[in-house]
């Protein structure tokens, strides 16, 4: 009898253990699930003018055209700004999913600029994930205009400017993304009428997704020390729409800034939205896969 009872309890225990095994395995599998990184915070690596949370995928080259017309309030004689234009041509390349480098050339002051963009933290879901993304951006600009006084000794370093940004943001839902970016910019040489070499500010950006291929975007830069002598620079504000069409992203926008790189639009924006100093512009992005990570 004892042998039968022992055998009965042994069979019952084995069946109970086998019945619980799938639940235990599912717990182990849940713990082993990898983090899922949040992507598509924006349709482009730029909100409008400023860098966005979004990085290119590793091995992707982005050819970008940033085009800005003149002031709309200049009237019919200037065809409401369409007779004038400022343009930047740029190439951005993603060395990895986290690291992007870029170079560009602007018609405004014939500037050449370059930057490095690295994602320090990547918003993700799952165990030990970050609720926000944090991206560092550092860049240099080179003024290409001829020196005004050729008789004095001029230095190449006089042409240089530098900027640093720390972008902190989050994709709250499929429809809403917000970011803030403390910014520091240094100019080696400034005109005698000005007295600031260091400029501090903060960029605010956001996107509201309207449809699968259309989004409303806004890009604002608060310049803390905007007044310099008798010159008072304005805070750059841009509002526009992102339109995605396959491999292209079109950004149509209105802004009070003429310059199309960080040094220019942070330090030299004089347009006033209240006075109608508004410019229409567009950005075009076309990406090419240079190195396919799926191929070994």
How do residues 212-252 score in pLDDT, each as one tens digit?
889 999 999 998 876 655 566 789 999 999 998 876 889 99
Looking at per-residue confidence, does 157 or 255 come out higher? 255
Q: What is the pLDDT of residues 41-96, one digit of tens each?
A: 998 999 999 999 999 999 999 999 999 988 888 888 778 778 788 899 999 999 99
Average pLDDT, the chain: 83
Query: Predicted confidence band at 202 (pLDDT cuts at 50, 70, 90)?
Result: very high
Q: What is the mean pLDDT of residues 200-208?
A: 95
Instruction: State whether residue 66 is helix, strand or coil.
Output: strand
Query: Predicted confidence band at 153 (pLDDT cuts at 50, 70, 90)?
Result: confident
> Count of residues for the chain?
296
Instruction: Determine the pLDDT at residue 171.
Output: 94
Query: Predicted confidence band at 294 (pLDDT cuts at 50, 70, 90)?
Result: low
Q: Which helix (H) or strand (E) holds 8?
A: helix 2-32
Q: Per the structure block, which two tokens stand in for 141?
A: 């600009």
Q: Tell whether the model's pLDDT for residue 119 goes beyond 90.
A: yes
Q: Tell whether the model's pLDDT for residue 126 goes beyond 60.
A: yes
Pairwise CA distance, residues 179 & 201, whole Å: 14
All domains of the chain, ordered by start, with CATH?
A: 51-289 (2.40.160.40)
Q: Tell whether the model's pLDDT for residue 8 goes beyond 50.
A: no
Which among 160, 49, 163, 164 is positioned nearest to 111, based on CA atoms? 160
Q: What is the pLDDT of residues 159-200, one digit of tens each?
A: 899 999 999 999 999 999 999 999 999 988 766 555 678 889
DSSP 8-state assignment for residue 206 = E
Predicted TM-score of the model (pTM) = 0.82
Which among 144, 145, 117 is positioned nearest to 133, based on CA atoms? 117
Looking at per-residue confidence, does 263 or 178 come out higher? 178
Q: Tell whether the model's pLDDT for residue 31 goes beyond 70.
A: no
Instruction: Determine the pLDDT at residue 227.
Output: 61
Instruction: Determine the pLDDT at residue 51.
Output: 95
- For the chain, the maximum distance between any two Cα atoms, rounded to a whole number of angstroms, is 115
Q: Tell whether the model's pLDDT for residue 2 goes beyond 60.
A: no
Alpha helices in 142-289 (DSSP H): 262-267
Instruction: Determine the pLDDT at residue 7.
Output: 45
Looking at per-residue confidence, does 29 or 39 come out higher? 39
């Amino acid at each position: 009898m004892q042998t039968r009872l022992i055998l009965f309890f042994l069979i019952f225990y084995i069946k109970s253990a086998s019945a619980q095994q799938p639940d235990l395995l599912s717990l182990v599998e849940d713990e082993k699930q990898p983090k899922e990184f949040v992507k598509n915070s924006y349709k482009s690596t730029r909100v409008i003018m400023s860098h966005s949370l979004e990085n290119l995928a590793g091995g992707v080259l982005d050819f970008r055209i940033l085009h800005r017309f003149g002031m709309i309030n200049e009237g019919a004689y200037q065809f409401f700004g369409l007779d004038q234009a400022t343009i930047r041509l740029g190439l951005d390349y993603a060395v990895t999913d986290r690291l992007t480098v870029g170079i560009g050339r602007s018609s405004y002051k014939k500037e050449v600029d370059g930057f490095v963009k690295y994602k320090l933290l990547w918003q993700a879901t799952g165990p030990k994930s970050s609720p926000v993304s944090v991206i560092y951006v550092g860049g240099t600009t080179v003024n290409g205009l001829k020196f005004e006084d050729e008789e004095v000794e001029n230095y190449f370093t006089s042409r240089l400017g530098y900027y640093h940004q720390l972008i902190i943001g989050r994709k709250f839902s499929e429809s809403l993304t917000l970011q803030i970016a403390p910014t520091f910019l240094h100019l080696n040489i400034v005109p005698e009428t000005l007295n600031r070499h260091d400029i501090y500010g903060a960029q605010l950006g956001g996107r509201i997704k309207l449809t699968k291929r259309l989004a409303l975007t806004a890009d604002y830069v608060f310049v803390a020390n905007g007044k310099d002598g008798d010159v008072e620079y304005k805070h750059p504000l841009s509002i526009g729409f992102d339109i995605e069409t396959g491999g292209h992203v079109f950004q149509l926008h209105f802004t009070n800034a003429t310059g199309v790189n960080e040094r220019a639009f942070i330090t030299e924006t004089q347009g006033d939205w209240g006075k109608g100093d508004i410019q229409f512009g567009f950005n075009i992005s076309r990406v090419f896969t240079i190195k396919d990570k799926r191929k070994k």
